[in-house]
């Protein structure tokens, strides 16, 4: 959601200057569901500039000098947190952590109390991960900081959607008319939702595949967003696809009656080399990690030539740098340290 | 002040019998930070309700004859609605053993309900219906299969799919309605199904009535006026076109209610049920909550909307677009609920309405302690000008309101 409130103090004029060619004046990054193609492309272009910085011998630029980025992870996550931390540090921001383990969040402090603390601490950007869908909206409404959603419940993981779009575009070119298969537990997946929200405006079509119990019921019954289809048969979903994104399968889905067995899941919806061969020649394989090798993806596929899984991780840092830059830069990127 | 009907009618106001709400939560005893009997009674009057039924999900629950008598003896000052108390079906609302239903009825309980924690064991519910039949009091059932609704927090549909929130499928209500009707058929007991929210539920009741079963039902003003799009930020009433300027952010916990706000087709089906007589009553399910229960993550927030003070405007909105006749909704707010409860419509209770008054819902103007309504800040049309209990004007709108009206 956009907001009419001004951005982080002092960042406004600079942001217009650096991103002047295309509109990008978001105050928060909560979801990409209402982003235009232009806004997404601005972030992807900015990401390219950030990749260049990451390839320098000294991976550091000054744009966020004097800014404080608070990483508020109320749900365990190492990869995303470290990725944001590297991104913030590469842009010279001061970074501090409020993590779940050992923090007051675990002691039952309410989100409301945490927000008041965040507000009092005066961070410029709050990067948050939370188990409840919508929690970043709650925080964004009650703080002056820019809020970046690093994953909320089943809802959204905007930076993952953007890094997946960047990675895909880098691998297969313009996404217009391309078909991407997303396989697995779509129902509980914020990654799937954000991938859909980011890929559709770029012109891609999405085919969902997975067990019927792990697809939102409305989507299974034909009420899908335009551009998205559901194909329970994985072979058919992959036939001629331009890329595939496998989702992580939580092992507890079997215990809650949503799956007969992990073994059956692996046989029916696991990505094997044979299945991957049904896609267009060279079509890439992606996964948001961490992977359950042998369940949703075979080791040979995960580490094979088509796999972009490690590239996704590298691009993740660049995308997060791009967003931090667009939200809170104090100094232009071109200035050297 | 004695009620002078002609003075109000001369101003062009509508004077109708005082509204009867067969489903409300007054939170006392136990949750006085959310509402008390006194604040609830005052809020009811502001909404035009002169008689209200308090649900027993209090702490302690209203499951003993002594507590019913005690509550009936608590303050019944003139500046509040008349209160009936609904007693629990099972002891402690735990769904394991029946409460002393015969004695509860003798003590003055108007009906029985484990509202919010519906009796899941069908055998026990059958026994409850058999017992209710002996007492002559209805069972007010909140139909929900808790295994199906599981951890759901909103209507299961396209909006929940988009927002990534666990859904409560329509079938969680409909399977319970079907079970309850089958048991009512078997026992011949008076079954009242409360706050029905889906077209499928209305169809089941329609069929049961056609079969001559003593089954009745009600719907709430919020289910008649709002859809699941409200959870995503829409603030357009069901008959209005989407208005970007009105939109709120998504995940506002004030839109979290059980049963959840449903889809547009369900809303239309509820109105159709009102029009053809399938729906007997409009009940608010007024569910006030202290802000600490709502100022939390959406999935952690308490279910419920504070409903007394906005009910009339919502219902009249549908009348304004001809989704039902004025007489139909007034009946559903007066003689309808009286018939369900088997009580008389108090002869000298009146509600005076200015159908054209435009007003903004403001938290600080609400008499209820619960400010939990997604209507805060919205402009509504139609407002209660005065409420009369026993021939005395028990509530009259503030000077500000009256001024606004006279300027018209």
Q: Which range is least confidently modeled, A328-332, B197-201, B279-283, B396-400?
A: B396-400
> How close A305 gets to chain B, by Cα (Å)?
33
Q: What is the mean pLDDT of residues A146-170?
A: 98
Per-residue pLDDT, A256: 86
> Per CB distance under 8 Å, which residues of B are interface residues toward A?
156-158, 160-167, 169, 233, 249-251, 295-300
pLDDT range class, residue A109, cuts 50, 70, 90:
confident
Q: How many CB atoms lie within 10 A of CB B11?
A: 14
State phi, psi for B250 to the nearest 5 degrees: -75, 170
pLDDT range class, residue B407, cuts 50, 70, 90:
very low
> How close B388 gets to chain A, by Cα (Å)?
42
Taking 50 as the threshold, does the pLDDT of residue B401 lie above it? no
Q: What is the mean pLDDT of residues B219-240?
A: 98
Per-residue pLDDT, A3: 39
Assigned CATH topology for domain A12-153+315-328: Rossmann fold (3.40.50)
pLDDT digits (tens, 9 = 90+) for B305-342: 999 999 999 999 999 999 999 999 999 999 999 999 99
Percent of chain A with pLDDT over 70: 90
- B232 vs A contacts (CB less than 8 Å): none
Of the spans A93-107, A110-124, A281-295, which averages the highest pLDDT? A281-295
The CATH class that applies to domain B18-348 reads alpha beta
Q: Which residue from B74, B15, B82, B1 is spatially nearest to B45, judged by alpha carbons?
A: B82
Q: What is the mean pLDDT of residues B162-181?
A: 98
State phi, psi for B283 to the nearest 5 degrees: -125, 145
What CATH architecture does domain A158-306 belong to?
3-Layer(aba) Sandwich (3.40)
- B163 vs A contacts (CB less than 8 Å): 133-134, 155
Maximum distance among all Cα pairs of chain B, rounded to whole angstroms: 61
pLDDT range class, residue B177, cuts 50, 70, 90:
very high
pLDDT digits (tens, 9 = 90+) for B70-110: 999 986 777 899 999 999 999 999 999 999 999 999 999 99
Q: What is the mean pLDDT of residues B201-211?
A: 98
Per-residue pLDDT, A111: 92
Taking 90 as the threshold, does the pLDDT of residue A2 lie above it? no
Taking 70 as the threshold, does the pLDDT of residue A7 lie above it? no
State the pTM of this model: 0.94
Per-residue pLDDT, B79: 84
Taking 50 as the threshold, does the pLDDT of residue B403 lie above it? no
Best residue of A3, A218, A221 to probe chain B, by most B CBs closer than 10 Å: A218
Structure tokens at A92: 């010279």
Structure tokens at B41: 């009674």
CA B362 vs CA A311, B39, B177, B237, B359: distances in Å: 52, 16, 36, 18, 9
- A195 vs B contacts (CB less than 8 Å): none
Taking 80 as the threshold, does the pLDDT of residue B190 lie above it? yes
- Name the 3-class secondary structure at B111: strand
Mean pLDDT of chain B: 95
pLDDT digits (tens, 9 = 90+) for B253-270: 999 999 999 999 999 999
What gap in Å lies between CA A145 and CA A70, rounded to an integer?
A: 10
pLDDT digits (tens, 9 = 90+) for B346-365: 999 999 999 999 999 999 99
Taking 70 as the threshold, does the pLDDT of residue B398 lie above it? no
Q: What is the mean pLDDT of residues A253-261?
A: 89
Per-residue pLDDT, A76: 82
Taking 90 as the threshold, does the pLDDT of residue A5 lie above it? no
pLDDT range class, residue B400, cuts 50, 70, 90:
very low
Taking 90 as the threshold, does the pLDDT of residue B187 lie above it? yes
> How close A200 gets to chain B, by Cα (Å)?
14
pLDDT digits (tens, 9 = 90+) for A203-240: 999 999 999 999 999 999 999 999 999 999 999 999 99
Taking 60 as the threshold, does the pLDDT of residue A16 lie above it? no
Nearest by CB: B164 against A112, A141, A193: A193
Q: What is the mean pLDDT of residues B26-47?
A: 97
> How close B96 gets to chain A, by Cα (Å)?
25
Q: Long-range contacts of range B176-181, CB-CB < 8 Å, 24 or more positions apart? A: B176/B118, B176/B141, B176/B143, B176/B144, B176/B145, B177/B143, B177/B201, B177/B204, B177/B205, B178/B204, B179/B122, B179/B125, B179/B145, B180/B125, B180/B141, B180/B143, B181/B205, B181/B208, B181/B213, B181/B215
Per-residue pLDDT, A98: 86
Mean pLDDT of chain A: 91
**Which chain B residue lies closest to A139 (C-alpha atoms)?**
B297
| Cβ pair B297:A141 closer than 8 A | no
| Cβ pair B295:A193 closer than 8 A | no
What gap in Å lies between CA B20 and CA A304, rounded to an integer?
A: 70
Domain extents for chain A?
A: 12-153+315-328, 158-306
What gap in Å lies between CA B220 and CA B315, rounded to an integer?
A: 9
What gap in Å lies between CA A257 and CA A211, rounded to an integer?
A: 12
Same fold, A12-153+315-328 and A158-306: yes
**Which chain A residue lies closest to B155 (C-alpha atoms)?**
A218
Residues in chain B: 408
- Name the 3-class secondary structure at B10: helix
Per-residue pLDDT, A23: 66
Nearest by CB: A112 against B165, B250, B295: B295
**Which chain B residue lies closest to A114 (C-alpha atoms)?**
B296
Q: Are B77 and B42 in contact (CB under 8 A)?
A: no
- B250 vs A contacts (CB less than 8 Å): 1, 134, 137
Q: Which range is least confidently modeled, A86-95, A118-127, B168-177?
A: A118-127
A28 touches B at CB < 8 Å = no
Residues 153-182 in A contacting B (C-alpha not used; CB under 8 Å): 153-156
What gap in Å lies between CA A254 and CA A264, rounded to an integer?
A: 11
- Which of the residues of B are catalytic? 285
Best residue of A4, A114, A133, A225 to probe chain B, by most B CBs closer than 10 Å: A133
């Amino acid at each position: 959601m956009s907001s009419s409130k001004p951005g982080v103090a002092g960042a406004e004029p600079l942001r217009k200057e650096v991103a002047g060619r295309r509109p990008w004046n978001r105050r928060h990054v909560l979801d990409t569901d209402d982003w235009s193609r232009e806004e997404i492309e601005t972030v992807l272009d900015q990401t390219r500039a950030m990749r260049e910085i990451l390839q320098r011998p000294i991976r550091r630029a000054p744009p966020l000098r004097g800014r404080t980025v608070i990483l508020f992870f109320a749900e365990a996550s190492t990869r995303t947190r470290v990725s944001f931390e590297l991104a913030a540090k590469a842009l010279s921001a001061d970074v501090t952590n409020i993590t779940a383990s050992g923090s007051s969040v675990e002691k039952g402090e309410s989100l409301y109390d945490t927000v008041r603390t965040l507000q009092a601490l005066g961070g410029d950007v709050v990067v948050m991960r939370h188990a409840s869908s919508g929690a970043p909206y709650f925080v964004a409404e009650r703080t002056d900081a820019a809020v970046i959603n690093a994953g909320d419940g089943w809802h959204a993981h905007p930076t993952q959607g953007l890094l997946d779009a960047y990675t895909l575009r880098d691998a297969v070119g313009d996404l217009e008319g391309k078909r991407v298969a997303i396989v697995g537990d779509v129902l509980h997946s914020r990654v799937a939702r954000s991938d859909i929200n980011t890929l559709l405006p770029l012109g891609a079509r999405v085919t969902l595949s997975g067990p019927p119990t792990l697809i939102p019921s409305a989507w299974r019954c034909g009420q899908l967003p335009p551009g998205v289809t559901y194909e329970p048969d994985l072979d058919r979903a992959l036939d001629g696809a331009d890329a595939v994104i496998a989702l992580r399968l939580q092992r507890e889905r079997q215990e809650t009656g949503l799956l007969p067995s992990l073994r059956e899941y692996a046989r029916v919806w696991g990505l094997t080399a044979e299945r991957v061969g049904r896609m267009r020649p060279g079509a890439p394989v992606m996964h948001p990690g961490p992977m359950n090798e042998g369940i949703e993806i075979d080791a040979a596929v995960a580490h094979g030539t088509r796999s972009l899984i490690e590239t996704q991780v590298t691009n993740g840092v660049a995308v997060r740098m791009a967003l931090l830059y667009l939200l809170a830069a104090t100094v232009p990127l071109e200035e050297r340290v | 002040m004695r009620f002078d009907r002609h003075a109000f009618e001369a101003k062009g106001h509508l004077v109708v019998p005082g509204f009867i709400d067969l489903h409300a939560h007054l939170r006392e005893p136990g949750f006085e930070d959310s509402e008390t009997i006194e604040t609830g009674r005052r809020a009811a009057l502001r909404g035009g309700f002169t008689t209200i039924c308090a649900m027993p999900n209090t702490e302690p629950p209203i499951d003993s004859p002594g507590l019913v008598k005690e509550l009936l003896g608590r303050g019944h000052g003139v500046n509040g609605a008349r209160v009936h108390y609904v007693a629990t079906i099972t002891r402690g609302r735990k769904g394991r053993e029946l409460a002393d239903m015969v004695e509860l009825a003798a003590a003055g309980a108007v009906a029985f309900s484990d509202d919010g924690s519906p009796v899941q064991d069908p055998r026990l519910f059958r026994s409850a219906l058999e017992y209710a039949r002996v007492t002559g009091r209805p069972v007010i059932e909140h139909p929900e299969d808790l295994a199906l609704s599981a951890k759901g927090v909103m209507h299961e549909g396209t909006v929940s799919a988009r927002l990534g929130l666990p859904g409560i499928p329509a079938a969680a209500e409909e399977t319970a309605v079907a079970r309850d009707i089958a048991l009512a058929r078997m026992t011949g007991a008076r079954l009242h199904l409360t706050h029905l929210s889906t077209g499928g539920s209305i169809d089941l009741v329609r069929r049961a009535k056609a079969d001559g079963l003593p089954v009745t039902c009600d719907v709430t003003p919020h289910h008649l006026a709002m859809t699941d799009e409200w959870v995503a930020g829409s603030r357009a009433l069901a008959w209005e076109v989407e208005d970007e300027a009105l939109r709120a952010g998504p995940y506002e916990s004030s839109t979290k209610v059980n049963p959840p706000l449903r889809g547009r087709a369900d809303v239309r089906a509820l109105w159709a049920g009102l029009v053809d007589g399938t729906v007997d009553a409009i009940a608010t399910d007024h569910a006030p909550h202290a802000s600490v229960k709502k100022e939390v993550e959406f999935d952690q927030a308490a279910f419920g909307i504070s409903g007394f003070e906005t009910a009339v405007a919502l219902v009249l909105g549908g009348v304004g677009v001809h989704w039902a006749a004025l007489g139909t909704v007034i009946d559903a707010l007066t003689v309808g609920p009286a018939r369900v409860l088997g009580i008389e419509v108090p002869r000298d209770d009146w509600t005076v309405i200015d159908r054209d008054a435009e007003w903004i819902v403001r938290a600080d103007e609400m008499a209820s302690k619960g400010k939990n309504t997604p209507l805060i800040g919205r402009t509504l049309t139609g407002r209660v000008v005065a409420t009369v209990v026993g021939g005395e004007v028990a509530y009259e709108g503030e000077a500000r309101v009256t001024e606004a009206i006279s300027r018209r």
